[in-house]
A and B are shown apart, each in its own frame.
Chain A
Amino acid sequence: MYKRKKISYLPQQKTFGLNVTSMTDMFTILLVFLLQNFATSEFSLDPDPAVKLPSSTETKAPEKRLQIILNSKELKLDNQLVLSLDTTTGGTSLDQQSGLKINRLYEALVQLKEKNTQDASVIKGEILFQADRNQSYKSIQKVMYTASQAGFPKVKLATLAGN
């Protein structure tokens, strides 16, 4: 009985005007924020998900280059796996004489250099290097050495802008 009475108190009018002013305000603020962060450069570099890039005060926008990616598990060349850095395969891929040259990376780079004879950055020997901030110089040195031996001596280091 009590419940029936309560239902009868409900308003009769079923349509109502929604006040969207506050929602519009919220969207305007969101829009301004997103416009500020809008990527305007020609080439936007998507860092490898497994790589935590080091931070730097440098703010120069990256340009499209051949990319070498080094994270704690893999070594990639232009997003294609070159070498898995586990203990079973990592050691055997190194050149015995120098102890620095990574054979598989060297071969892949030489092949790419032979294929891309029209690309100006490849002719100049420029490469974009993404490496995890926690990598030691020992592993970075091997990649840089191999790149320079394969005809890519100009290594650009990818970093996160801002300290």
Chain B
Amino acid sequence: MKRRSNYQSRVSKDSQFELDLAPLLSVMVKLVPVLLLSSAFFQVSIIETDLPQAVQAAIIENQKNPNLPEVELYIDYQDGFQIQVLNNGQAEKVTVPLSAEKKLDFLALNSELSKIKELYPQVFEINLHPSSEVSYQDIIYSIDMARKSKDLKFIFNEPTTDEQKETTFMFPEVTFANILEG
């Protein structure tokens, strides 16, 4: 008890002191320019097809199967988006018209592609056919909309284990199909 009271009295005596912040400040002054130089204020990313293993395995399996339906996406500033599904020699066509502001309707494209993905969950490839005047930004937005669904998940069979898996990926394998067309 005695010890405690002594300690308390000592603490109360020394409780007020001024902290010397100068060394801390000088460290910070040196650190801030270093971090400012190495900071990335915008993040650059790349679009490629590094996908979950199950999806990747399904894509590899699909390449061996030429009878799978083919999904083609045509992008045009006059007609909007046109989706064409070629299945067993028959073509189904879906048009996503321009919005009221006469612009490409990306959200409608995403929902139309979600419907197609629900019908063909094993298909992961999409062939892009942008017309020559379409801007690079609009092509990238279209790829974004085709790659992943905004709100739905799809069930597909993983070929190696034959288990059912869930994914938000729709058509992550994007090919520019009209590169060779002059």
Other-chain contact of A161, B38, B44, B130 (Cβ < 8 Å): B44
Task: List chain B residues, Cβ under 8 A from A61.
Answer: 45-46
Of A53, A55, A145, A159, most B-chain CB atoms within 10 Å:
A159
State the main secondary structure of chain B at its contact with A.
mixed
Interface string of A114-136 (1 = CB under 8 A from B): 00000000000000100111111
Of A23, A59, A136, most B-chain CB atoms within 10 Å:
A136
Task: Write the residues of chain A forming the contact surface with B, with a CB cutoff of 8 angstroms.
Answer: 20-21, 23-24, 27-28, 30-31, 34-35, 37-39, 44-45, 47, 53-63, 98-100, 128, 131-138, 140-141, 144-145, 148, 156-162
**Given known A-B contacts A148-B179, A158-B46, A20 and B135 have beta carbons under 8 A apart:** no
Task: List chain A residues, Cβ under 8 A from B41.
Answer: 37
Other-chain contact of A23, B25, B39, B139 (Cβ < 8 Å): B25
State the main secondary structure of chain A at its contact with B.
mixed
Tell me the complex Cα distance, A100–B41, Å: 37
8 A–B contacts, CB within 8 A, in A order? A30-B32, A31-B32, A34-B32, A39-B39, A58-B47, A59-B43, A135-B136, A161-B43
In the assembled complex, the CB of A72 is this many whole angstroms from the nearest CB of chain B, namely: 12
Minimal Cβ-Cβ distance residue in A for B150 = A57
Interface string of B64-84 (1 = CB under 8 A from A): 000000000000000000000
Other-chain contact of B28, A24, A59, A157 (Cβ < 8 Å): A24
Closest 7 CB pairs of A and B: A34-B35, A133-B137, A138-B132, A27-B28, A161-B45, A54-B137, A161-B43
In the assembled complex, the CB of A163 is this many whole angstroms from the nearest CB of chain B, namely: 8
> A38 and B35: CB pair below 8 A?
yes
Other-chain contact of B44, A62, A131, A140 (Cβ < 8 Å): A62
Tell me the complex Cα distance, A133–B50, Å: 23
> B46 and A128: CB pair below 8 A?
yes
> How many interface residues does B have (CB within 8 Å)?
42
> B44 and A31: CB pair below 8 A?
no
| B36 contacts partner chain A, Cβ-Cβ < 8 Å | yes
Tell me the complex Cα distance, A62–B48, Å: 10
| B180 contacts partner chain A, Cβ-Cβ < 8 Å | yes
In the assembled complex, the CB of B126 is this many whole angstroms from the nearest CB of chain A, namely: 15
Tell me the complex Cα distance, A133–B138, Å: 8
> A133 and B135: CB pair below 8 A?
yes
Task: List chain A residues, Cβ under 8 A from B179.
Answer: 141, 144-145, 148
